[in-house]
Copies of this chain bind each other. A is one copy, B any other.
Amino acid sequence: MDSDFPQLPERLLLGPGPSNVPARVLEALSRPLLGHLDPAFLALMNEIQELLRSVFETANRLTIPVSGTGSAGMEAALVNFVGPGDPILVGAHGVFGGRIADCAQRCGGEVTTVRAPFGEPLDDAQMARAAEQCRPKIVAVVHAETSTGVLQPLEPIRRICDRYDSLLLVDCVTSLAGHSVGIDRHRVDIAYSGTQKCLSCPPGLAPVTVSDKARECLVERCQSWYLDLGMVASYWGQERTYHHTAPISMNYALREALAIVVEEGLEARWERHRMHHRALVAGVEALGLTMHVDPQFRLHPLNTIRVPQGVDDARLRSQLLNQFDLEIGGGLGELKGKVWRVGLMGENSRPQPLLYFLHALEKSLKDQGFQATPGAGVRAAGEVLLG
């Protein structure tokens, strides 16, 4: 019978992820299936691990995609290392830091949480004092807070870890392939990401990397069977011991998305994200809007813009979606209704999506009586793009 699959709208996805996926990746996704122990699939798994090491900037042997979305990566990063009573220090400067604390508690950890206002990085002195008190086994932070648009500097956190020989755990969901994550440079011990942000791959896998030092600190018996990295590593390693059936098609897609990143080159890709971020800021400010985050801590792939007074957040986002087929994100947690989250991630960190967004934003603001100099946003962004 013919498919009656519903007609889906074609959206430009400039929210906090998923981002749009290039045709090459969609094509890989739809290749015929192989068995999860087929020699041809095992070869592809090896290639994926090599590519992931490049993108994470690491030589870590244990560098694999966990079979779930980014949140499964978070859970795998915690449940294998946090045992009952283990002191864990979590820096939470947004919703996703709060989730780490929640998850670490579910693992039985003694969690100390240092909070920062949504839109600022962590306070180094506060983190240092908390570490002195709790002597953490793990210090966990979010590199790129998708809920606030803040890039957390890793150097001060690294120094704290050195003081107490703590493991450094970093959420790289929104930074991987958009900023340098420098896993080996920062001696990050445990990191996880998602596929649907700057990798421009569909959601469904969570790249995870673990240092040899952290591997020596695995909990004795992981409370999760599915995410037990000891068993998962035996499948991805030389032993090839069957654990669970790998998501074959999603791994095809990830292979292709990573190949695209490596072809472009990491530094070129980071620079592309930086330039389109700068152009976005110029455009947004020329329209008379304000960025939420201080310039020195702004994420490039994910931009938080303050909702101006007198403008209805939900109505504007809904106009962008329905009139322009353009998705952006609303605020999360304490920023709900206060900011828009605009992602220029992976394939979408390009002039076309950016200029179209500024055009659509200007029109939608105008329809709510918010006046800006006509064309000012597009013009200012264009100037940055032209250098």
Contact = CB atoms under 8 A, between A and B. Distances in A.
B34 A11 contact: yes
A107 interface: yes
Contacts of A222: 106
Interface string A50-81: 00000000000000000111111011000100
Nearest to A318: B39
B38 A11 contact: yes
A245 B9 CA distance: 19
B67 A247 contact: no
A69 B68 CA distance: 8
A221 B106 contact: yes
Given A35-B13, A256-B5, A107 B223 contact: yes
Interface stretch (A112-120, A127-135, A196-204): A196-204
B223 A17 contact: no
Interface residues of A, number: 78
Interface stretch (A24-32, A152-160, A163-171, A308-316): A24-32
A21 interface: yes
Interface string A33-50: 111101010011001000
Interface string A65-103: 001111110110001000000000000000000010011
Contact of A248 (B18, B35, B263, B321): B18
A14 to B, nearest CB: 10
Contacts of A248: 18, 196, 202-203
B196 A245 contact: yes
A5 to B, nearest CB: 5
Contacts of A8: 31-32, 34, 40, 44
A223 B223 contact: yes
A321 to B, nearest CB: 8
A250 interface: yes
Interface of A: 1, 3-6, 8-11, 13, 15, 17-21, 24, 26-36, 38, 40, 43-44, 47, 67-72, 74-75, 79, 99, 102-103, 106-107, 194, 196, 202-204, 221-227, 242-250, 252-253, 255-256, 259-260, 263, 321, 327, 332
